[in-house]
Chain A
Amino acid sequence: MAQTNPGKDSQASEAKKLISLPTSRVRLIMKSSPDVSSINQDALFLTTKATELFVQHLALTSFNNGSGREANSLDYSDLAKTAEETDTFHFLTDILPKKILARDYLESLEQLQDEDTDF
């Protein structure tokens, strides 16, 4: 990390300003995918930068499309709703299941059972 050349220092710090996420951690996550052997520098930079764009995109979309629970705020249900309704974020549905209260779930379960006995 030690850079003795001032010219190199400013170049490195200019490059640093481009991203706000730790590339080492991004690379760790990438490497945990099966069959990934090596990742070149461009790929790592692009993935890190894309991740930033993704966070902005997901946050703003969810904020705007919110479940209406509360205006001007972003909570878990907004994210879950966005994943369900927006094609781009559909890959998140497995890790963003919608939450319901146990009470409501049991009620709907009872309703289903009642419907069965009606026949």
Chain B
Amino acid sequence: MDGDSSTTDASQLGITGEYMASGHYVLQPQDDDGEENMNDHEDGGTKENYREQDIYLPIANVARIMKNAVPQTGKIAKDAKECVQECVSEFISFITSEASERCHQEKRKTINGEDILFAMSTLGFDMYVDPLKLYLQKFREAMKGEKGIAGVAVGESLGEDLTEDSFTNQLPTGIITDGQQQNVMVYTTSYQQFTTIPTVQQIQFS
């Protein structure tokens, strides 16, 4: 082999990432523009390797949540958005299969809220559980009087009509911790009125 490394196609080189001793690696084309051409920037995303799970949430929604989570001046690369889109599907499947397993163990057919919360706790997302319980409470209050078929219908249609416009008044709320669990940023909205004025409290754990 000569020193010319212009051939970056893994299949031509006959090597795969598995040869690396540690970690997981894939080969990245030297020319990043090459990667752009391969990507379909619609919410489906066309990648070289098709996984079984190629159903994704719309990238606009995902990107918006990411944008609101990082500092305002921060930049987010396009491949990061697409990547998180895929991670999201992975997350949903991860939680769902754990919840489903518990459901089967208890001889039930329908996955309920408890199953989901239990799955989160089991899989290391217990920091989400308390905020989620609060949201569930709000959700139930909002849906009061919508019980039965009507309630289910509304539930299914939640979020379906979202367009770019509908985000102007919505801000994500949640509890975010960084890797070291030292900083907890709490974004809250007013619980009474469902207004969208956020208050951010930063709690430091030393």
- A39: which B residues are within 8 A, CB to CB? 110-111
Chain B: CB-nearest residue to A106: B5
Residues of A within 8 A of B200 (CB): none
Name the CB-closest residue of B to A100. Answer: B25
Q: Are B96 and A23 in contact (CB under 8 A)?
A: no
B197 CB within 8 Å of chain A: no
A77-105 to B contact mask, C-beta < 8 Å, 1/0: 01100101111100111111111111101
Closest to B167 in A: A20
Q: Cβ of A20: which chain B residues have Cβ within 8 Å of it?
A: 61, 64-65, 159, 162, 167, 170, 172
- Most chain-A CB neighbours within 10 Å: which of B25, B123, B144, B155? B155
In the assembled complex, the CB of B88 is this many whole angstroms from the nearest CB of chain A, namely 6
Q: Do A101 and B25 contact each other (CB < 8 Å), given the known contacts A11-B145, A34-B97?
A: no
Provided the pairs A8-B145, A22-B57 are in contact, do residues A102 and B65 lie with their beta carbons within 8 angstroms?
no
**Bound CA span A21–B85, Å:** 12
Q: Mark B70-103, 1 if CB is under 8 A from A, else 0.
A: 1101111101100110111111111111011000
Number of B interface residues at 8 Å Cβ cutoff, please give it.
Answer: 108
Interface centre among B89, B111, B162 (most CB of A within 10 A): B111
A29 cross-chain contacts in B, Cβ below 8 A: 53, 55-57, 89, 92-93, 96
- Which residues on the B side are within 8 Å of A8 (C-beta)? 145-146, 150
B201 CB, min distance to chain A CBs, angstroms: 15
Cβ-based interface call for B205 (8 A): no
User: Does B113 make an interface contact (CB < 8 A)?
Assistant: yes
Could you tell me if A60 and B53 are in contact, using CB atoms closer than 8 angstroms? no
> Can you give 19 contacting A-B residue pairs, CB < 8 Å?
A1-B153, A21-B57, A21-B62, A22-B160, A29-B53, A42-B112, A43-B116, A47-B116, A49-B132, A50-B132, A54-B125, A55-B62, A59-B84, A72-B74, A72-B75, A75-B76, A75-B77, A82-B179, A99-B25
Taking beta carbons and an 8 Å cutoff, which residues of B are in contact with A? 1, 5, 7-8, 10, 13, 15, 17, 19-20, 23-30, 51-53, 55-58, 61-62, 64-66, 68-71, 73-77, 79-80, 83-84, 86-97, 99-100, 104, 109-113, 115-117, 120, 123-125, 128, 131-132, 135-136, 138-140, 142-146, 150-160, 162, 167, 169-170, 172, 174-179, 185, 194, 196
Residues of A within 8 A of B (CB): 1, 7-8, 11-12, 14-30, 32-65, 70, 72-76, 78-79, 82, 84-88, 91-103, 105-106, 108-109
Contacts A73-B77, A106-B13 known; list 20 others, CB within 8 Å: A17-B169, A17-B196, A20-B167, A21-B61, A21-B65, A23-B157, A24-B160, A25-B57, A28-B55, A43-B113, A47-B95, A51-B91, A52-B172, A56-B65, A60-B70, A65-B178, A73-B76, A102-B8, A103-B5, A109-B15
